[in-house]
Structure 1
Amino acid sequence: MQGAGFGSLLRRHRREAGLSQEGLAELAGLSVDAIAALERGRRRAPRVHTLRLLADALRLGDPERLLLTAAARQDMDTARMPLRPPPVPTSELIGRSTELTTTTRLLTKRITRLLTLTGPGGVGKTRLMQAVTSEIADTFQDGVCWVPLAPLADPEAVVPAVAEAIGLQSRLADDIAEQIGRRAILLVLDNCSHVLAPVENLCASLLEHCPNLSILVSSRELLRLAGESVYVVPALGLPYDEDHLESSDAVRLFVERATSRGYDPTGQLDQVARVVRRLEGMPLAIELAAARTTVMTIEELATELETSFGILAGGSRTLSPRQQSMYGAIEWSHALLTPAEREMFAQLSVFKGGWTLGAAAAVLSGVRTRVEGLDLIGRLADKSLIKVTRRGGIARYYMLAVIREFAADRLEAAGATEATAERHAQYYLSLAEEAEGRLRGPEQREWLDRLEAELSNLRAAIAWSVRTGSVVEALRLAGGLWLFCYLRGHYAEGSQWLERALDLGDAPDLASARAKANLGAGTLAFLQCEYDAATERLQTALTQYKELGDKAGTAMVLQRLGGVARERADYVAAEDLHCESYDLYESLGDRAGMAWAHNYLGFVAWLRGDLEIGARRCRRARDSFRVVGDGEGLAWSLISLGTIAQYGGELVEAEDLLQESLALSQRLGYREGVAWSLNQLGIVERRRGLTARAVHLLDESLAEHRDLGDRWRSASVLEELAAVAQHRGRSEYAAFLLGAADEVREVIRAPVPRIEQADYEATRTAVEASLERRVFRTAWSAGRAAPLAAVADGYPPAPRGTDRTRDPL
């Protein structure tokens, strides 16, 4: 053996010098074990510095030094272990620049000696490891050793597999450690989840005995060893808007893989975006979906994926079963779960959009305490079957959609779907009813955010109650959520919930719930300008509340009826209804209710042109809302006061008040408040002559009002945009906008508010004066024929040659 030649030569020189191993070690400043390892061939490649120390200690002349160095070099050339190399990738790596940078830095800078790449099956851990090893192979002097563990079924086969990969035939970890010794090697262990215990033991031993060894691991579950660094491999980046589809890594991967199969989807990137968003950027899922383009169109593929992930199969037959389908990838992880983990995994599929620890403890059967639930959730998170997010001091958990579908199939197979869904609905019913009482007052924003986070679960709970005909749960859920739907702008969806619940029929002891549901349905219909339907529902609720002797409910219905009258410009009726509401709240000593009555009375006053009365009422409301901590009420009073200041010519004061209301509404997520604030700020800028700024604000306001379904306010914003267009010399477009607004008002049967009539008439007169009658009527008719959604798409750019000298921006 070449290694024995160096060892024999060193031993002969030591003996000729009359030194024991201990003596030579002392003179050379080395350990006795190092001398013994070199002489016996256990260590075959001494460093140059070590050679110099040995030669000096042995007092060798130049010829002997050269011979000893030559023997060492000969050993060094033959000492490199026959390491199993990493597999050569068969396709280009798409994206992953951030992931590569981070992981290579951790390994090359020796920030960590044990790095675990983790994440769910199909996220691309192995492919990333191939790229990492290719990137950093040259930085490990003695090479990279790749050990694929996925084929192993027996945990006892781990050590022999690693030994074989470094050129040994052994079943002992100590032999591997001795063979590696002080060599600078990167050991890569791919797919460890199913043999975790022996991998943990082997890594712990090797890291202890091999000081220059680094280990890179891919596993769906963490090793949890001291010194382990963890990198969670993310899904590929999704397109964040329609203007950046080509830059999305997920889109690029789909296009590349589909193109390689003979179908180029670059002309249908919007449909590709549908697919990759549904697949949440999972690389394996994207590759399997792209494979289906040989027999499906992108549209068919996207539509199919909306209902099922079953088509995500058909990967290369040369791959393992876990890589041939998403089902196989998830089954690989599922098979490693304990019975308790499998039961929880299946039941967690009942949640949509994530869940909290409290929700899991309340809904899941077999979980006796929050601690037990937390332990099981932690274990599933460790196995990459659920993900954890942390926001606002609250941890939420969720499953990727494809994993959730697999879990739901397991729940169905266990015959536990309906029982779990019922517990789920009962939990979210209790949450909705608890939140209902907190949606006015200082906790408003917190509870609005909490319900928004649970919106998908609330939808599922309502869907279950309607599907099963559970009239009590349906009415209580929908009735408890209508205020949330109003504040967060879910008008149409909330209306649908309420109408479906009311259509289920009646039940004993549901008079109060039905009254609340009618109140909510009437309110949301009013907000969408369905005034006749709103009046019918509200009158029903009024009768029901009066029969119940519920003064607070009666007062609230009167407020909503006052709103209908107000938008239809029946200001006398509106004021009478709000006064009656005020009297009821005063009799109850309800300060918040009285503040709302003042606010609405002020609203009616300024709409009809009584600015002084409106200001006095709204200031009282504002001061009361500050005391009781009602953010929505405060935003509304600020909007009214800002509008009054704007119509009074106090533009600086108006801007200050409206900016305050805008900021508050945005913090609350109160969409109506945002839309109104933008509307009035746009008018302020138009009055200042800053038309570009006005267009921006009014466009945003119109988009919000349109999305909410508020056609009454949309018409007013269209009329304001017409005033701006006329100011810019765009008379024909102004006529188009006036026609669109007129059509909206005719449909909802609501005239121009009295306070806005002077501006409206001035704009229309100016437009008619600047256009030929035929041109005006053509543009007006085109506006009336255009859908509101098309009109609200945004103010068009000025045509070439338009005089824009009057527009400072």
Structure 2
Amino acid sequence: MTGVEHPVIRTPDQRIRVFVSSTLRELAEERDAARSAIERLRLAPVMFELGARPHPPRDLYRSYLAQSDVFIGIYGASYGWIAPDEDVSGLEDEYNLAPAGMPKLIYVKDADTRDPRLQDLIARIQADDTAAYLHFHTAHDLEDQIAGDLAMLLAERFDQSRRTEPATAAEISLAARVPEPYTETIGREGELAEIRALLAGGMHRVVSLIGPGGIGKSRLAIEAAHANVGLFPDGVYFVPLEGVLEPGLLLPTIAYILGVRDTGAATLEERIAQAIGDRHVLIVLDNFEQIVDEAPVLVRLYTLAPRACFLVTSRVVLRIRGERVFDVESLATPSPDAPPTLAQAQSSSACVLFAERAASALPGFRLTAENAADVIGICQRLDGLPLAIELAAAKIRLLTPHDVAERLGRSLPLLSTSVRDLPERHRTMRSTIDWSVSLLSAEQRAMLEDLGVFAARFSLDAVESVGEGRSWGSQAIETLAALIDASLVQRVESGGRSVFSLLAIVREYAIETLEARDAADAMRIAHADYYLALVHRIAPRLRGSQQIDAVAELGLEVPNLRATARHLVQQGRLDDAGDFAWTLFVYWWISGYFADVRLWMMELLEKRMPITTRTRAIATFFRLWAELWQRPSDQVGEGLAEAVRLFRESEDEHAAAMALAARASTRLQFPDLDEEAFLAEIGEAIRALHAFGDAWGESLCEVVLGQLGMLRRDVPAALEHLGRAVSIADDADDAFTRVVAGNNRARLRFVLGETDAAEEEFLLTLLLSVRLHFVDGATYGLEGMSAIAASHGEAWRAGALAAVAAMIRETTGIYDIEGFAVHLAPLEALRAVDAESVGAGERAGREMGLAEAIAIALPEAGADVRERVPSW
């Protein structure tokens, strides 16, 4: 079986001999592993164990090599001893003396440092078409790799022995050319199964794994290549294109890996196709984006070689005939709505990856209940991007998860690595992005930087708006498409429309680059102007029949709404910031963003810049809103009275009426209620709101009067006002006020023993809350359904729904009037009968998210609700 001979079948007494070359003392454990692997296959190890001698034993190991069939080289950090009067060490001399055609399996141990002369030898080996070059970590890993590779080699040679014609160079190439992953691949089982299905179907000639730098395309391709060797009996070949920058080098690089050399007898393209012939092979082309203009070459190759299949990794779609695009996604992170528990972290591939890599940096590290929340936060902050997670996990050697989480606000300078074996562009996320950006045109780079002012997602309309006057503005669609092809911008479907996004770290890079050019402020203003206009277009639909759609539309823009407020305040456009906040008052309430607005308004006031009276009224009102419900006091009441005065001074009577209703609601929280003052203020507010045709505000004021009746145990009055509130909401077809009024009326009906009517109303309000994504309303509805379940003796369900609602209240600070929680008494009564089931439900509920709880409360909900709940 010597490489210079035509392969034959050996008889049992003609055992194949495997020569093992390595330094002796440094790699003693690895040599033992190699011996075990060779003997496991009933082959004969040939190992030169004499050690260093005063004179080089060249004749001896030349003789050993002449008797051997396969050469195995194992290299670590040392180049080895150089004998007197010799220019090279015995290690290099053994490689030089191996017959040219002898199959060579080369295994390089991972090392932080390596002798420069050994590095040169390894580089030369990489250029040898008869050598398969692989990395390994431990002696145990090495033993398995050698055994597997020798078995593969024997199988190939057995197949060749049945042929009548000599084997070509391409046919003797080893599938083991596919590199081994340095670390375990996590969270890609589903993708690997999908890729296998694409490769096995035979319909796709080019399967392109597309995604941004750092998302794990190369790792996934390597795993897919190893996992699908069985689908390609004639070979799997890995072609690294990382350093191939000139398009003309694509074919020579592929030819080199296949063992084809350019002799001039035919074009290289034809020679490659001839070497492949009708063999069923998989060729993996890694990092194709930098020579994407050469993609049509692949069409010509697979046309000439009909059973060849290409698996390509690229940041850019190839856009060729026969291509099947497979988008590589980030790793799954726990939902922001789910409690950050250990169970959530353990079920998240992103968190598991972090833990695995952290354990490599700090042996003994593991996910625990104490660090789970911080690890979840880190992975969410990094968008599940594998490379970013791995780089962050490497910091665990120096920092705790809590420290890493806190410092991720400065993620770009933090995420760097000193691992020398990584490609240069992967040493930090910055170098990864720099490498991608360097491939763009000037206009594409400018757009990427400008998009940094956007938050998580943005629309094409928004992009076109901010692009007015920019270098890329007249070709916004084409330029954006190029960035999508380059995987620097992602396109997704959301709410039935296309929206675009940047990964968080790409966005940080973009805005930092923009600021370095002193261009960020102008883009922030353009961004703010677009969203100000958008808000004024949508706001009229926030009350009435179009409310659900308007809320959904704004929900797609929440990150940009926040960014707009921040941009306006930072740029000193304080009156615009105040108007922006007030225009969206209804939306802030439905979606629970008053805490954000309060911070913006406090920052606005702290600017101590000239503002209009109306802006001061708005800022005063929002600053006190949360206090009104959670910590009512005389000071809150006085502050709201000042807001009323300021609104009136600015001649905004409508806003003054809303502020007056808020002041009356504050009075309702006091144990020593001044009922006369309360009724005067709420009555004045109702009259004004009715005059303005504001059914939304009027209905809410009637709810407040209904709550007064409940506090006074005046059931008829409470039912009258709550019924009126429901009627006003129904007439206006306003979902929000229908939820608020309905939840209050359902509570009262439950207390009165009208269980069926209460259940019907709670179900309605819960459905409307789901459609609105109204967390407060859903929480009240869950508590109501908990009360209903308790009254029916459904202990587990009652306990679970109550626990979820309690957790939501605790984490979000949802206000409720003391004594209005109607589910507590029936739940305790049921606990006395079936404490075990109630407790089990409560334990389960504390691990649930809102979506899971709603699904339990609404088991027979329609398809539209089932579609909304999982994404909530």
Contact 1:642 1:658 (8 Å CA) reproduced: yes
Partner SS state of residue 341, structure 1 = helix
Match of 1:75 in 2: 165
Q: 1:196 maps to what in 2?
A: 292
Residue of structure 2 in register with 1:645 after alignment: 749
Shift in Å at residue 558 of structure 1? 2.8
* DSSP-derived class of the 1:437 partner: helix
Give, in whole Å, the separation in 1 of the partners of 2:360 and 2:689: 71
Q: Which amino acid aligns with 2:389?
A: I
Question: Of residues 154, 160, 169 in structure 1, which corresponds to 2:246?
Answer: 154
Contact 1:598–1:620, Cα closer than 8 Å, also in 2: yes
Give the AA of the match of 1:407: A
Structure 1-normalised TM-score? Answer: 0.75
Contact 2:170–2:260, Cα closer than 8 Å, also in 1: no
Cα 1:641/1:250, change in 2 over 3 Å:
closer
Aligned to 2:280: 184
Distance verdict in 2 for CA 1:77–1:546, change over 3 Å: closer
SS for the counterpart of 2:412 is: coil
> Is 1:610 aligned to 2:680, yes or no?
no
Say which of 542, 554, 559 aligns to 1:439: 542
Preserved contact between residue 80 and residue 142 of structure 1 (Cα < 8 Å): no
Q: Is the 8 A contact 1:491 1:708 kept in 2?
A: no
Instruction: Say what the alpha-carbon RMSD is for the aligned residues.
Output: 3.2
Q: 2:687 aligns with which of 571, 575, 583?
A: 583
What number of residue pairs does the alignment pair up? 666
Answer yes or no: is 1:559 the counterpart of 2:649: no
- Paired AA for residue 164 in structure 2: Q
AA matched with 2:328: V
2-side partners of 1:249 and 1:795: how far apart?
Answer: 23
1:667 has 2:779 as partner: no
Aligned equivalent of 1:124: 216
* Structure 2 gap segments, 5+ residues each: 1-5, 7-159, 834-841, 848-872
With over 3 angstroms needed to count, the CA separation of the structure-2 counterparts of 1:549 and 1:78, relative to structure 1, is closer
SS of the equivalent of 2:194 reads helix
Q: Give the percent of matched residue pairs that are identical in Structure 1 and Structure 2.
A: 29
User: Which one-letter code corresponds to 1:284 in the other structure?
Assistant: L
The equivalent position to 1:138 in structure 2, one of 225, 230, 248, is 230
Report what 2:26 is aligned to. none
The residue that corresponds to 2:307 in the other structure is: 212
Secondary structure of 2:230 counterpart: helix
The 1:567–1:695 alpha-carbon spacing in structure 2 relative to 1, beyond 3 Å, is: farther
CA 1:165–1:513: 2 relative to 1, 3 Å: same
Residues 280, 307 of structure 2: 8 Å contact kept: yes
Residue correspondence of structure 1 range 692-731 to structure 2 within 5 A: 693-710=797-814, 712-713=816-817, 715-716=818-819, 721=824, 724-725=827-828, 728-729=831-832
| Residue 322 of structure 1 pairs with residue 435 of structure 2 | no
Matched to 1:81, the amino acid is: E
Report deviation, 1:189. 1.3
Tell me, in whole angstroms, the C-alpha distance in 1 between the residues paired with 2:321 and 2:356: 41
For 1:700 and 1:88, the matched residues in 2 are separated by: 46
Report how far residue 348 of structure 1 moved.
0.7
State the shift of 1:602 in Å: 3.5
Provide the rounded CA distance (Å) in 1 between the counterparts of 2:821 and 2:544.
34
**Distance (whole Å) between structure 2 residues aligned to residue 368 and residue 451 of structure 1:** 29
2:165 counterpart letter in structure 1: D
Calculate the TM-score normalised by the size of structure 2.
0.70
Whether 2:187 is the aligned partner of 1:95: answer: yes
Pairwise CA distance, 1:595: 4.2
1:86 matches 2:181 = no
Structure 1 residue 99: Cα displacement: 1.4
Whether the 8 Å CA contact 1:89–1:130 is kept in 2: the answer is yes
1:244-281 per-position Cα deviation (integer Å, ceiling 9, x unaligned): 32343223333333333443211555243333333222
User: How far is 1:718 from its partner?
Assistant: 7.2
Task: Give the CA deviation at 1:690.
Answer: 5.9
Distance of aligned partners of 1:140 and 1:548 in 2 relative to their CA distance in 1, 3 Å threshold: closer
Which residue does 1:252 correspond to in 2?
352
Question: Cα 1:150–1:684, aligned 2, differ >3 Å: closer, same or farther?
Answer: closer
CA distance in 1 between partners of 2:395 and 2:776 (Å): 44
Q: Is the 8 A contact 2:700 2:741 kept in 1?
A: no
- Alpha-carbon distance in structure 1 between the residues aligned to 2:777 and 2:301: 63
Change (3 A) 1:218 1:695: closer
In structure 2, do the counterparts of structure 1 residues 594 and 147 end up closer, same or farther at CA, with 3 Å as the change threshold?
closer
**SS of residue matched to 2:346:** coil
Structure 1 residue 638 displacement after superposition: 1.6
Q: CA deviation at 1:202?
A: 1.1
Query: Judging changes above 3 Å, is the alpha-carbon distance between structure 1 residues 297 and 705 closer, same or farther for their aligned structure 2 residues?
Result: closer
Of 417-426 and 478-487, more deviation after overlay is shown by 478-487
Q: Pick the structure with more helix per residue.
A: 1
User: Secondary structure of 1:74's partner?
Assistant: coil
* Distance in 1 of aligned mates of 2:692 and 2:230: 81
In structure 1, how many angstroms separate the alpha carbons of the residues matched to 2:593 and 2:496? 26
Q: Between 114-123 and 662-671, report the one with greater CA deviation.
A: 662-671
Once residues 676 and 319 of structure 1 are traced to their aligned partners in structure 2, the CA distance between those partners, rounded to angstroms, is 53
Write out per-residue CA displacement over residues 722-768 of structure 1, whole angstroms, 9 at most, x where no aligned residue: 674477459xxxxxxxxxxxxxxxxxxxxxxxxxxxxxxxxxxxxxx
Change (3 A) 1:556 1:194: same
**Contact 2:800–2:843, Cα closer than 8 Å, also in 1:** no
Partner Cα separation in structure 2 for residue 451 and residue 246 of structure 1: 33
The residue aligned with 2:519 is 416
Residue 207 of structure 2 corresponds to residue 111 of structure 1 = no
After superposition, the Cα gap between the structure-2 partners of 1:793 and 1:536, relative to the gap in structure 1 and judged at 3 Å, is farther
Flag the 1:793–1:571 CA change in 2: closer, same or farther, 3 A.
farther
Q: 2:727 aligns to what?
A: 623
1:403 match:
506
- Cα distance in 2 for residues equivalent to 1:253 and 1:681: 39
Is 1:228 aligned to residue 323 of structure 2? yes
The structural deviation recorded for 1:184 is 2.0
Compare CA radii of gyration and give the structure with the larger one: 1
Structure 1 window deviating more from structure 2 (179-188 vs 679-688): it is 679-688
Letter in 2 for 1:181: G
Match of 1:636 in 2: 740
Give the distance between the partners of 2:676 and 2:765, measured in 1 at CA: 28
What secondary structure sits across from 1:128 in the alignment?
A: helix
Q: What are the Cα deviations for residues 1-36 of structure 1, in whole angstroms up to 9, with x where unaligned?
A: xxxx9xxxxxxxxxxxxxxxxxxxxxxxxxxxxxxx
Note the alpha carbon deviations across 1:443-483, whole angstroms, 9 max, x for none: 22222233333222222232333334332233223333333
How far is the alpha carbon of 1:103 from its aligned partner? 0.8
Retained in 1: the 8 A contact 2:178–2:236? yes
The alpha-carbon deviation at position 591 of structure 1 amounts to 4.9
Aligned-residue offset at 1:593? 4.9
Offset of residue 796 of structure 1? 10
Q: Which residue of structure 1 lines up, in the alignment, with residue 154 of structure 2? A: none
Task: State the SS of the aligned residue for 1:168.
Answer: coil
> How far 1:668 moved relative to its partner?
1.1
Q: Helix, strand or coil: the match of 1:330?
A: helix
Contact 2:283–2:310 (8 Å) recurs in 1: yes
CA distance in 2, matches of 1:681, 1:617: 23
**Partner in structure 1 of residue 15 of structure 2:** none
Measured in 1, the distance between the counterparts of 2:689 and 2:392 equals: 60
Mind listing any 5+ residue stretches in structure 1 that lack a counterpart? 6-69, 731-791, 798-809
Letter in 2 for 1:567: Q
Match of 1:264 in 2: 364
Q: 1:287, 1:391 → 2: CA distance?
A: 29
**Is this contact kept in 1: 2:444–2:472, CA < 8 A?**
no
Residue 684 of structure 1 deviates from its aligned partner by 5.0
CA spacing shift, 1:682–1:79, aligned 2, 3 Å: closer
Instruction: Give the equivalent residue in structure 1 for 2:410.
Output: 307
Q: Which amino acid aligns with 1:497?
A: W
Cα separation, 2, equivalents of 1:484 and 1:120? 35
CA distance in 2 between counterparts of 1:89 and 1:693 reads 47
Cα–Cα, structure 1 residues 141 and 273, in superposed 2: closer, same or farther, change >3 Å? same
Pairwise CA distance, 1:794: 10
Instruction: For residues 505-552 of structure 1, give each alpha carbon's deviation from its aligned partner in whole angstroms, at most 9, with x where no partner exists.
Output: 4646x3334334444444443133334343223212222333344442
Q: Quick one: which amino acid aligns to residue 259 of structure 1?
A: A
Could you tell which deviates more after superposition, 343-352 or 556-565?
556-565
Alignment of 1:774-793 (within 5 A): none
Contact 1:479 1:498 (8 Å CA) reproduced: no
